[in-house]
Every structure is written in C-alpha cells, then in structure tokens.
Structure 1
Amino acid sequence: MTPDLISKKELLELTGISYGQLYRWKRKKLIPEEWFIRKSTFTGQETFFPREAVLARIQKIQAWKEDRSLDEIADLLSSVSTSVWKKSELIEGNVVSEVAFQWLEQVRGERVETVSHRTVLALLVLESLLQDGGLSQNEGKIVLRLFDTVTADFQNHRAQVLLLRKGGVTTAILAMDEGKIHVDPDTEVADRIQLAKCVEKMKLDLTDGGV
C-alpha cells in the first residue's frame, strides 16, 4: 500500500478511537467522506485514509472535544474554507512566513493585508517547497500564479503540485486525482492524448486479423 495512505485498522490503533467514534465523526462531517477510500487487498475490500491529513484531523478533534460539542467542531471546520485571514495573524502565528507574503505581493503587484482560504493553501505549498530547498524566487512566483489563475477544487487529498525543470526552464502543474491537469498560465498545453483510447484501438487493431 502506498505510504501516503493508512488502513482503518492502523488508524484506530494509532489514535485509540473506536470504530463507532470514527463513523460518528464521519456522519457529523468532522472527517470528509471522500477520505474513506475503499481498495482491494489480498484479504478483500479494506478502507484506507490519507495518512497525514486524517491523523492531523483526529488529533485536532480529540483536543477540541474536551470543551466543544461535535456540532461546534463541525461548524469550526466548515467555516475555515469561507474565512478571510489577516496577513499579520498568519505571520505571528507562524502559519506563513513573511518571505512567502513578499513573493505573493510581488506576483499580485499590490500590498496584501488579508487572504482567502485558497491563498493560504497556495502559501503553504510555497512554504513546503522552500523547506525542501532549491526553490528560486521565480519558481515560487510560478506556483503562486498557478493558484491565482486555476479555479479547480484543491481539497482532494491526492491533488499534487508538480514543479518541473528542464534546461533552465521551470513550469508548475497541478495534477488532480481524476486525471485532470492544470498548468501555470505561461505554459500552453500543445496536445493531449487519452491513452485509454489508444490502448483500446491497439487491442482492436491487433485482434482484427491483420496482425
């Protein structure tokens, strides 16, 4: 199984929660339904979750439920995506660095005082790339422009931002779970071929008696 997934059994053992709690939190929308991933294994169908996301979410729920009801926690989680966040609060809370905001302001050509949930996500992607090292300022701006121009839903846990380099040229791609890709605004998709169609044609042609 891929390392970014965790089985239901391992999740329950690591967190100490029960099967009943897990599915109650699902019904209350504390854990997104799309995080419950059914996969075939040698023992049959099993349920897996995005490892880092679900462990962080359960840790937060366990901390919050000491003095909040499950309905209050659900309201807190749902309000995050519609909130506007102050630059000063994000920097002071060590959520986003001042450097990341400086790059964002250069991309937008204006001073930024508040940002949306979507922009916070873009800045966190930038922070992750900075921590990995080797990210140039120009490459960082490419990533920020990608988030500013693409309207796709980034909540899918399998969505990935890919930074590609060749011959001194860098481009960024957002790869979605359903096979869709989005590229940075300075890159044009010259052509797109669906491999499934080619595979089907190959099967038909090679079994049509001609070969």
Structure 2
Amino acid sequence: MLTVNVINFEKQIKYLLDDGYTFYSVGEIIRMNEAKTILKDKAVTLTFDDAYLNNLTYLIPVLKKYSLKACIFIPVSFIGKTNIWDGGSDRIMNLEQLLECQPYFEYGLHSYSHDNLATISINEFKADLSASQQELNKLKLNYFPVLAFPFGQYYKDKIKLTNAKEALADNGIKLAFRIGNAINSWPLKDPYLVKRIDIKGTDSFWEFKTKLKKGKVKVF
C-alpha cells in the first residue's frame, strides 16, 4: 500500500517538526541550489506523485494545520481521469480541483503520458516533455520547472541520460527527481537526478524514522 493514512501522515509531520527538521518548498530548493545557499540541518521537502484526488482528504488538512506546502507532480494527460498506467482506478484531480488547491500545493511535471523511460526513445521523451508544458500552459495552471520521472525511473544508458538532461535544460527544467532512497548532498550533486525517500503506507513508525536518517531500511 503506497498511501499513508491521514493519522500516520500527521504523526510523521509532527515528528519532523518536533525533531528540528526544516521544511523547504521546491521553489526554495531551486533558488537556494542555484545560489549555493546553505540549507539548515535536517532539511526536508514534501513531494507526492500523480495528483490523486485523495490528496484533498489526506494532505490539505495537515498542510493547513502546520502551514506547510507540498509539491504535487502531475501526469498531465490524466488530469480528471484515473491511474490506468498501472491498472488502477484511483481518481486524479481535475483542473478545477488543481486550481483550487494552489494555495497549498506547488505543482511539477510527472510527464504527459506516464511512460516508463525504459520503454520510450529519447525523441519520445522530448516530445512528452514538450507536451506536458504546452498543456499546463494552455490550462493556465501554474507549475514549477521540475519533473518527477514516472515510476522513479531514468535512462541508465549514459548517452540517453545525457540527451535527456540536455532536453530538460533546453526546456527550462531546473530539477528532476528519481527515487533513490538516499540522502542528497548539498548543493545538489546532480539537479537532474535528485533522490527521494519512498515512504509507504505499510511503513512502521520505526521504518519511517530510519528512512529519514539512512534513506532506506536495510534488509539483512
């Protein structure tokens, strides 16, 4: 189960605040990385993929309560539809809902077609990236120049990866996120392969705290 229920999510947020973590928005991370500004110790950014409708129920009440923002990565062609890319039936927010939630969320790209990069060519990646930006611009939905790779996957082939990074730069993208389950160095070693920690609904509180410190729970 990927979704963290609202009780556990608030417990996690409260722990982060009580333990001295500082929350940074994606917009702040972009600016501070470019300026090489020093982050406070225990820095954290909240990111969520796919813009699911349940974000309205699970995220917004907690974000409002603690005056926080999260970045939601939108699979653009699926706005108002469901997650059919993995055979699911979970609703994705529609345009009206996305617009209404802008006070609480920053938005980023999660591709247009939600294709795994392992299955598409570099030219298809470029076309998908362009389509994502054009559609959000047409919808007049404000978004930050950031991308989360679908399924957290990026090109493992060095030439393809270099070409993908060039395409991101050419399209004004400042950060691209993978999974990685590791702590990032600062300033970011590679702004187009930013690692994230994957917190699941099945994680115990001990696993959550361990992931914060180590990126993942080591399986012996």
Normalization by structure 1: what TM-score? 0.22
Q: Which has the larger radius of gyration?
A: 1
Tell me: higher relative CO, structure 1 or 2? Use CA pairs within 8 A at least 6 residues apart: 2
Higher helix proportion: 1
Higher strand proportion: 1
